[in-house]
């Protein structure tokens, strides 16, 4: 099979042939049809994950067909359409798993980091990492739902915001363009925040009731004119910009940060105390959360906007993603 791998930290993309792997007990083999490129793939490319072993095939926005099943696989069969996301399985025996909180498993694996991912014609996945793809979701859309999609969908649906509440999505990019659609479809009073006004027509088309141009308007006062945001989903990885958002929250509001900026946030506790607000991270979710994401997307018409590349052009595709030129997600298709 043809794969794209990285064999050392900071190394270049290598297109190589490997033997098609066999699934062990509790695993399936997926014939990959599409794999989204995520900013987190830089962890493999640049060697930023401490326990990473090379060579490694990245890719955790995988969509394909089950092509073979290992022993002890009872609930999945050959021919099913499945997605594999960041959550690469859990152990069932740690304290968090015993409480049913599989996303917080202390032994959880990450697809494309702890084991080879979807920049390949075939990959092996544990059944705990599988999400069933609805019939009307094409593979090239299912891929991005497995990381970008589930991250924002799951963050918003667990945020505590209720229908009619003001929810702002900061940053209209790979995560944000999906976040705006989910916020609208979940019934929130949806505000898109971005630098410049070139994305305003699109943000409104995706469902934003309001658009705030962060270069021309004061984001905090614009949000406060709406009563403050119950939730701000910060998807643009800019520590300074994210830190400045807390004063745009309503009392008891929450600033949710699912994508990490490199720099630490700088936030005054007075600001949080006075309005009893909070800042929280968000971890994407389990495979079932990803399946919920796809089912909700199929039900409501939420779609990622993508650019497709063949595996042979992986270097170019990765560069397109990391340059920020892409609108809004790059997907390798097979």
CB atoms within 10 A of CB 99: 9
Min CB(153)–Zn ion separation in Å: 13
Max CA-CA distance within the chain? 60
Query: Nearest 5°: phi and psi at 15?
Result: -95, 115
Task: Find all residues with CB under 8 Å of 43, minimum gap 6, and list them.
Answer: 49, 52, 113
Binding test (CB under 5 A) with Zn ion, winner from 132, 147, 249, 287: 147
Q: Which is nearer to Zn ion, 107 or 274 (CB)?
A: 107
* CA quadruple 102, 255, 304, 116: dihedral, nearest 10: -40
Q: Which is nearer to Zn ion, 22 or 107 (CB)?
A: 107
Q: Which is nearer to Zn ion, 181 or 290 (CB)?
A: 290
Binding test (CB under 5 A) with Zn ion, winner from 32, 62, 66, 105: 105
Min CB(102)–Zn ion separation in Å: 7
Min CB(273)–Zn ion separation in Å: 34
| Per-residue x/- track, 29-68, Zn ion (CB under 5 A) | ---------x-x----------------------------
Q: Which is nearer to Zn ion, 90 or 141 (CB)?
A: 90
Q: Restricting to residues 62-101, which ones interact with Zn ion according to CB under 5 A?
A: 90-91, 94, 97
Rg of the Cα trace of the chain? 20
Q: Decide: 30 and 62 in contact? Cβ < 8 Å.
A: yes
Min CB(26)–Zn ion separation in Å: 14
Q: Which is nearer to Zn ion, 107 or 271 (CB)?
A: 107
Q: d(Cα 98, Cα 255) in Å, to the nearest integer? A: 29
Q: Restricting to residues 194-233, which ones interact with Zn ion according to CB under 5 A?
A: none
Min CB(90)–Zn ion separation in Å: 5
302: left (phi over 0), alpha (psi -120 to 50) or beta: beta
Query: Per the structure block, which two tokens stand in for 330?
Result: 């790059």
Q: Which is nearer to Zn ion, 103 or 272 (CB)?
A: 103
Q: d(Cα 228, Cα 6) in Å, to the nearest integer? A: 45
Min CB(52)–Zn ion separation in Å: 15
CB atoms within 10 A of CB 278: 14
Query: Nearest 5°: phi and psi at 223?
Result: -70, -40
Size of the site for Zn ion (CB under 5 A): 9
Q: Which residues bind Zn ion (CB under 5 A)?
A: 38, 40, 90-91, 94, 97, 105, 107, 147
């Amino acid at each position: 099979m043809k794969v794209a791998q990285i064999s050392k930290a900071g190394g270049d993309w290598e297109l190589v042939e490997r033997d098609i792997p066999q699934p062990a007990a509790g695993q399936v083999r997926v014939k990959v049809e599409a794999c989204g490129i995520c900013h987190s793939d830089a962890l493999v490319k640049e060697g930023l994950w401490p326990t990473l072993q090379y060579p490694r095939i990245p890719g955790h926005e995988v969509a394909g067909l089950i092509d073979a099943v290992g022993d002890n696989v009872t609930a999945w069969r050959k021919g099913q359409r499945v997605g594999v996301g960041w959550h690469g399985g859990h152990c069932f025996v740690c304290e968090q798993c015993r409480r049913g909180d599989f996303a917080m498993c202390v032994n959880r694996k990450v697809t494309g980091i702890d084991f080879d991912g979807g920049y390949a014609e075939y990959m092996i996945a544990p059944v705990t990492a599988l999400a069933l793809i609805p019939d009307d979701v094409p593979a090239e859309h299912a891929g991005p739902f497995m990381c970008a999609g589930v991250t924002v969908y799951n963050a918003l649906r667990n945020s505590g915001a209720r229908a009619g509440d003001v929810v702002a999505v900061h940053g209209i990019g790979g995560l944000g363009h999906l976040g705006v659609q989910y916020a609208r479809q979940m019934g929130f009073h949806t505000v898109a925040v971005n630098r410049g006004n070139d994305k305003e027509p699109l943000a409104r088309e995706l469902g934003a009731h309001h658009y705030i141009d962060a270069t021309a308007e004061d984001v905090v006062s614009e949000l406060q004119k709406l009563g403050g945001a119950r939730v701000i989903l910060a998807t643009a990885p800019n520590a300074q910009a994210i830190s400045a958002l807390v004063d745009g929250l309503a009392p008891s509001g929450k600033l949710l940060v699912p994508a990490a900026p490199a720099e630490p946030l700088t936030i005054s506790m007075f600001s949080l105390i006075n309005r009893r607000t909070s800042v929280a991270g968000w971890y994407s979710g389990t495979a079932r959360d990803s399946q919920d994401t796809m089912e909700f997307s199929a039900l409501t018409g939420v779609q990622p906007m993508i650019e497709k590349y063949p595996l042979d052009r992986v270097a170019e595709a990765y560069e397109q993603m990391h340059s920020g030129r892409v609108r809004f997600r790059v997907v390798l298709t097979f």
